């Protein structure tokens, strides 16, 4: 493996490019017309245009991404997360082209993507699943029988669903008929597969997931858990490791269950096994994500393992290293997702140009970002701008660091989730670690009514003034067109020919 096509954009593309360079590999970026000037394009050794802005015609288009791999002479493709990362068809097409897919086999992706198949394998491997059906239910009468047996409320879940898509809660038998019709027709429309199955609906669980790693020579290990309950409409906002609510015994049992889950599909690469956790310590398999995840850095910080580098090494056929196999957890890490969503306006996505950016730094602070001053934030892609991740010896130290880092962060040009994070980091329930998947729904509005402190208002006004000053100065200078990606790519190629790079 020498040259990796990074089939993604934004912060994860940059993250993967950095890991490639750490491993002495060349990284080739792909970009849509909307990303011609994006940081990941400049960070790569070369870049290939794959189409217009809409993802369906660029980052989601298997043929165009494959063509870029061929054109650039890449011998591996890293899919990142989202887009084609969990497409079995894509993994298959990459391998069929004689290129290494940095991820699990197409079969493993397929098995975990079909939720009833995943539940069957879990049951066979002694991984606890939520009471319900293993096969899809044939009709509403069968659903009613099962529901009467396990008790209401139940969830109807799409077999081809996941991540909250195609899920419907049913409170009583009165609602079953209409819910079943709606669930099946929605599933058919969204996934081209109308099959649904039944699960008992658990009351206010926590969402805890286990990071697993498996090489191609038979080692499967886990690197502990991440607590991901702070979410809104299935979009995670904050993650931390370790989980505040997990005792050592439950943690060990959950880790072992996750390893069995991975082994049940002959998993290779890094992956995540999601569980729902109840207050009594009972946990249940939810689904397995067969990709690197957005929140992987919290695990990296507490285990001191580079998970993306591990992905590359595993894909190249190397066994898990000694240090990784023996890695032990140390301290506490928290991640805040900085998105271009306005918490004071129902988290609606905002658009604009990043005019001013002051990035947090210093001890225990990590900033994984896909933006720079001048970045145009539109509506074509996911609103994730950056991830702010902190480490501390204890949870209390990590919390203090996150508050300090959020104070240092200034973004002018688009509304962001930053103020929401500041409020959560000061909230008593969060500070106590007492929260579940309903935290934002229950606590969010009250939090957002907290008046801003004068000091914070002063920072915002000063930053806006600085941004305007910089804009005026830039207009007076009229700089040459150095940001142009075509120009940049040509320059990089010339530099490489001269052995500069």
Instruction: Name the site residues for ligand MV4 (rule: CB under 6 A).
Output: 130, 155, 162-164, 167, 199-202, 205, 207, 231, 234, 276, 286-287, 437
Give Cα separations from 407 to 211, 364, 421, 496 (angstroms).
30, 15, 11, 41
| Nearest-5° Cα angle at 403, 401 to 405 | 65
DSSP state string for 321-373? PHHHHT----SEEEEEEEESEEGGGTTEE--EE--EEE---STTEEEEES--T
Nearer Cβ to ligand MV4 (101/180)? 180
Tokens 């009594």 found at: 280
Nearer Cβ to ligand MV4 (234/491)? 234
Buried b (16+ CB within 10 A) or exposed e, 26-57: bbbbbbbebbbbbbbbbbbbbbbbbbebebee
Pairing of β 220-232 and β 100-101: unpaired
To ligand MV4, the closest distance from the beta carbon of 356 in angstroms equals 34
To ligand MV4, the closest distance from the beta carbon of 268 in angstroms equals 23
Tokens 């909230």 found at: 427
Taking a C-beta distance cutoff of 8 angstroms, is the pair 77, 98 a contact? Answer: no
131: how many CB neighbours lie within 10 A of its CB? 15
To ligand MV4, the closest distance from the beta carbon of 284 in angstroms equals 7
Nearer Cβ to ligand MV4 (46/195)? 195
Nearer Cβ to ligand MV4 (407/441)? 441
DSSP character for 152? S
To ligand MV4, the closest distance from the beta carbon of 161 in angstroms equals 8
Nearer Cβ to ligand MV4 (53/129)? 129
Identify which of 279, 269, 347 has the alpha carbon closest to the alpha carbon of residue 105: 269
Residues classed as catalytic: 291
Alpha carbon 289 to its chain's center: 10
To ligand MV4, the closest distance from the beta carbon of 199 in angstroms equals 4
Nearer Cβ to ligand MV4 (207/422)? 207
To ligand MV4, the closest distance from the beta carbon of 130 in angstroms equals 4
Taking a C-beta distance cutoff of 8 angstroms, is the pair 5, 68 a contact? Answer: yes
Taking a C-beta distance cutoff of 8 angstroms, is the pair 341, 416 a contact? Answer: yes
SS3 192: coil
User: How is residue 313 written in tokens?
Assistant: 């090494």
Identify which of 363, 207, 228 has the alpha carbon closest to the alpha carbon of residue 295: 228
Nearer Cβ to ligand MV4 (391/430)? 430
DSSP state string for 225-281? EEEEEEEETTEEEEEEES-TT--HHHHHHHHHHHHHHHHHTT--EEEEEEEEE-TTS
Q: Which helix (H) or strand (E) holds 165?
A: strand 165-170
Mention every residue, 6+ apart, whose C-beta is less than 8 A from residue 44.
6, 17, 27, 28, 29
Nearer Cβ to ligand MV4 (90/284)? 284
To ligand MV4, the closest distance from the beta carbon of 445 in angstroms equals 17
To ligand MV4, the closest distance from the beta carbon of 273 in angstroms equals 12
User: Helices (H) and strands (E) in the chain — how many of each?
Assistant: 18, 22
To ligand MV4, the closest distance from the beta carbon of 212 in angstroms equals 17
Nearer Cβ to ligand MV4 (5/437)? 437
């Amino acid at each position: 493996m020498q040259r990796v096509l990074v089939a993604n954009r934004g912060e994860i593309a940059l993250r993967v490019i950095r890991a490639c360079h750490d491993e002495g590999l060349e990284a080739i970026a792909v970009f849509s017309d909307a990303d011609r000037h994006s940081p990941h394009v400049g960070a790569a050794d070369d870049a290939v245009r794959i189409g217009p802005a809409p993802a369906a015609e660029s980052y989601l288009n298997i043929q165009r991404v494959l063509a870029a791999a061929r054109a650039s002479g890449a011998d591996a493709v890293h899919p990142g997360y989202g887009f084609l990362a969990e497409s079995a068809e894509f993994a298959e097409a990459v391998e069929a082209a004689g290129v290494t897919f940095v991820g699990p086999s197409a079969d493993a992706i397929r098995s975990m993507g079909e939720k009833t198949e995943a539940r069957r394998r879990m049951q066979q491997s002694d991984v606890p699943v939520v009471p319900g059906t293993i096969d899809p239910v044939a009709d509403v009468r069968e659903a009613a029988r099962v529901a009467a047996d396990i008790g209401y409320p139940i969830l109807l879940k799409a077999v081809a669903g996941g991540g909250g898509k195609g899920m419907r809660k049913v409170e009583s038998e009165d609602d079953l008929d209409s819910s079943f019709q709606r669930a099946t027709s929605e599933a058919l429309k969204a996934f081209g597969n109308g099959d649904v199955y039944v699960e008992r609906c658990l009351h206010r669980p926590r969402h805890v997931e286990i990071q697993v790693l498996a090489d191609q020579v038979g080692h499967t290990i886990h690197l502990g858990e991440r607590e991901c309950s702070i979410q809104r409409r299935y979009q995670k906002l904050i993650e931390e490791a370790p989980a505040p609510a997990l005792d050592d015994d439950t943690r060990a049992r959950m880790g072992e269950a996750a390893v069995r889950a991975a082994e049940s599909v002959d998993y290779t690469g890094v992956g995540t096994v999601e569980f729902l956790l109840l207050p009594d310590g009972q946990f249940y398999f939810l689904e397995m994500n067969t990709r690197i995840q957005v929140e992987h850095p919290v695990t990296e910080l507490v285990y001191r393992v580079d998970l993306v580098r591990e992905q590359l090494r595993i894909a190249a056929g190397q066994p898990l290293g000694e240090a990784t196999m023996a890695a032990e957890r140390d301290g506490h890490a928290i991640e805040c997702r900085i998105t271009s969503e306005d918490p004071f306006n129902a988290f609606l996505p905002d658009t604009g140009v990043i005019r001013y950016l002051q990035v947090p730094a210093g001890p225990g602070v990590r900033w994984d970002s896909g933006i720079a001053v001048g970045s145009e934030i539109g509506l074509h892609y996911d609103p994730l701008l950056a991830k702010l991740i902190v480490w501390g010896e204890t949870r209390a130290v990590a919390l203090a660091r996150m508050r300090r880092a959020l104070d240092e962060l200034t973004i002018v040009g688009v509304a962001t989730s930053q103020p929401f994070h500041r409020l959560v980091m000061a909230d008593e329930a969060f500070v106590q670690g007492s929260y579940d998947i309903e935290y934002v729904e229950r606590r969010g509005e009250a939090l957002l009514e907290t008046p801003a402190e004068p000091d914070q208002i002063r920072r915002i006004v000063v930053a806006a003034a600085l941004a305007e000053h910089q804009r005026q100065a830039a207009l007076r200078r009229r700089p040459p067109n150095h940001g142009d990606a075509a120009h940049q790519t040509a320059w990089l190629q010339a530099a490489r020919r001269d052995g500069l790079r």
